Structure 1
Amino acid sequence: MKNKFALLALLITCAATSQIGVEPEKNEVFESAHEKGSVSFRPSIGWISQKVEISRNPQYLSHEFKDSNIAIGLEVEYVLPTNRNKLAVIIEPNYSQFKAKSEYDNPGPTNGQVMLEFKKVSVPVGLRYKMFLTDETKAFLSGVFVPNFISGAHYSYSMNPTTGAYLEETSYGFGLGFGFEYKPVSIEFRYNTNVGLNPNYDVSYGQFGLILRYTVFRIK
């Protein structure tokens, strides 16, 4: 009997000794509930292809304007402390210009021209979903609501520069984007849906762009 008690005591001692210095297993569920969010600031520059269509005009034929230009902005991204940091809220104010001409048939010896130009500030706000390809590389999808604020609009004809159409100063649209992020650099292809600039003249504006961003600093 004494030998049995001695053997049992020895087994308990060995078991206790084997647990010393062993780290407890990580609880992934518990850790995921305590993920930390972060805020990133990224200056951006983009190449944008813009198109304005005027499909109904009481004086002249319909017109189509196309312009490629540069947009500059600043993106602020807040990565939510949930879902393994895959979901983020984004806002990216940016500034761009539009200036283009279109020709139309004229009874005279030369065709007439119509000019359209304006300045635009857009403030896309939305969500971004990230897919981790490696520790340093991510693919992402973006969906944004896009308020547009237009100023300095000028729409006139060569035959009568005082004749033109009024453009709405505020319009709203939506955008969808797909891109990649590698360390501090990201690139995104984004398409913005058409928005109306003048309901009386059926003036619509659409945009497609390629945006390059660089993370200057991140707050965790």
Structure 2
Amino acid sequence: MKHIQFLIIFLFVSRGLFGQITFEKGYFIDNSDNKTTVLIKNIDWKNNPTYFKYKTTASGDINNKNIADIKEFSIDNGSKYIRATVNINRSSNKVPELDGLREVNFNEEQLFLKELVSGSANLYVYENGNLMRFFYSINNEVPIQLVYKRYKKENIQIAENNEYRQQLLNVLLCENVSTASIKNISYTENSLKRIFDIFNSCNDPINYIASTSNNKLIFRIRIRPRLNNTTLDVNSTADRRLKTNFDKNISLAIGAEIEAVLPFNKNKWAILIEPTYQNYSAETEPQKSNNFSANVYNAEVQYTSIELPIGLRHYIFLSDKSKIFLNASLLIDIPFNSQVVYNGLNRPNPELSLNTSLALGFGVDIFEKLSIEARYLGKREVFASTTDDDFTSNYRGFSIILGYTLF
């Protein structure tokens, strides 16, 4: 739990220290229907905003506009939001929070709705945390929510109110929109955009251009060879002779990184997992048990494992071709055929066990193909929590990692 808390704190602090302020060309329409071209701070909102920041010139001051002042705002080649007073149902989809009513209760609220499809029939979405609601508008009338609700039946089964399908059948009247195409349509962005595109293309086959979606995970796979500079200290409260400080060891390792770039906030955040094969081995100089003994002993370690870092990455774009990144990972280490051996002592040889630690990295990515990263490997306890000789350890170091993107 301590590792996870530190990981979260690190990422939020790094975001605050290194986060970019990107202002892009766009416009807003105020309550008097005046359209103003400005530079809008584009954070590629995951949750629908209630305000936005803008500048009138690149070197100008930063100003705010909130939902009470603005009817509409848009970023060129980006998101468009309209203000609407709508009836929205905010019932939860989480099983423990479901009620036993099929009926839907609405609240009247003023919201910024994100436009997904524009044509004879418009499709909008409102998102806030785990809540996602879709709205439609025919011929630019006031948006109406497409109704969907999960609820519990008397036998504790989960049921669904799929009224949105009947709503679509009532309003998307076109020969290309069949009953069968709507009957099993899911309450998801891609499915709804597809049916709205079909309807709008049917109504205006010459001028309508189907919508495109950037709301997708981007997956990348990289080969990641690395140079490790690591050391291991072993201590024991049972026998001072078992205390060992192994020398630093420079070794090669190889890993494969799978990265999922998240489809919001301008693709600045990613989830990564990176299975890596590593090996550490070292040996101490022979020494006597004490000044009056001829018994000579030494210690050696053979540490082979599969490391499994699971973490988050934040990108900071420098240009279209280069970016820097920060990683914070929880590293799960799975040793095999690994132990510390005490030659010349009648002592058990402790085996290395499953362990966790933190890893923090900073790197540069060029041309979406090549990368280099410096990674700090946090303190790692490599033994089981209890041993016969009360062994404790501190494995630590850093890595220089090269990356090549396969696809």
What TM bracket, shorter-length normalisation?
Answer: 0.7 to 0.9
Q: Does 1:205 align with 2:395?
A: yes
Tell me, yes or no, if the aligned pair for 2:380 and 2:396 is still in contact at 8 Å: yes
Equivalent position of 1:26 in the other structure: 76
* 1:58 positional shift: 2.6
Tell me, yes or no, if the aligned pair for 2:296 and 2:344 is still in contact at 8 Å: no
* 1:57 positional shift: 4.9
Distance 1:110 1:167, change over 3 A: closer
Q: Does 1:47 align with 2:227?
A: yes
SS at match of 1:115: strand
Distance 1:111 1:49, change over 3 A: farther
How many residues are aligned here? 193
Match of 2:299 among 114, 133, 140: 114
When structure 1 is superposed on structure 2, of 101-110 and 68-77 the one drifting more is 101-110
* TM-score, normalization by structure 1: 0.79
Equivalent position of 2:99 in the other structure: none
Tell me, yes or no, if the aligned pair for 2:306 and 2:333 is still in contact at 8 Å: yes
Q: How does 1:182-197 map to 2 (within 5 A)?
A: 182-183=366-367, 184-197=369-382
Q: Does 1:181 align with 2:368?
A: no
Q: How does 1:1-220 map to 2 (within 5 A)?
A: 26=76, 28-30=78-80, 35=214, 36-59=216-239, 60=241, 62-65=243-246, 66-103=248-285, 105-106=287-288, 107=290, 112-160=297-345, 163-183=347-367, 184-198=369-383, 199=385, 200-217=390-407
Distance 1:180 1:100 in 2: 32
Letter in 2 for 1:169: S
Q: Unaligned 5+ residue runs, structure 2?
A: 1-73, 82-113, 117-212
When structure 1 is superposed on structure 2, of 64-73 and 81-90 the one drifting more is 64-73
* 1:168 positional shift: 3.7
Deviation by residue 1:88-123 (Cα, 9 ceiling, x = unmatched): 111100001111012364145796321111211001
Distance 1:159 1:212 in 2: 41
Distance 2:300 2:325 in 1: 38
Distance 1:25 1:98 in 2: 52
* 1:29 positional shift: 2.9
Distance 2:232 2:363 in 1: 26
Letter in 1 for 2:365: E
Letter in 1 for 2:76: K
Letter in 1 for 2:262: L
SS at match of 1:135: coil
Distance 1:149 1:115 in 2: 20
Tell me, yes or no, if the aligned pair for 2:307 and 2:331 is still in contact at 8 Å: yes
Tell me, yes or no, if the aligned pair for 1:155 and 1:164 is still in contact at 8 Å: no
RMSD: 2.5
Letter in 1 for 2:285: E
Tell me, yes or no, if the aligned pair for 2:342 and 2:349 is still in contact at 8 Å: no
* TM-score, normalization by structure 2: 0.44
Distance 1:38 1:94, change over 3 A: same
Equivalent position of 1:16 in the other structure: none
Tell me, yes or no, if the aligned pair for 2:268 and 2:314 is still in contact at 8 Å: yes
Letter in 2 for 1:143: A
Distance 1:163 1:136, change over 3 A: same
Distance 2:255 2:270 in 1: 18
Q: Unaligned 5+ residue runs, structure 1?
A: 1-23
Equivalent position of 2:66 in the other structure: none
SS at match of 2:238: coil
Distance 1:78 1:176 in 2: 18
SS at match of 1:202: strand
Tell me, yes or no, if the aligned pair for 1:140 and 1:179 is still in contact at 8 Å: yes
* 1:62 positional shift: 2.0
Fraction of identical pairs, as percent: 26
Deviation by residue 1:201-220 (Cα, 9 ceiling, x = unmatched): 11221131011010011xxx
Letter in 2 for 1:41: I
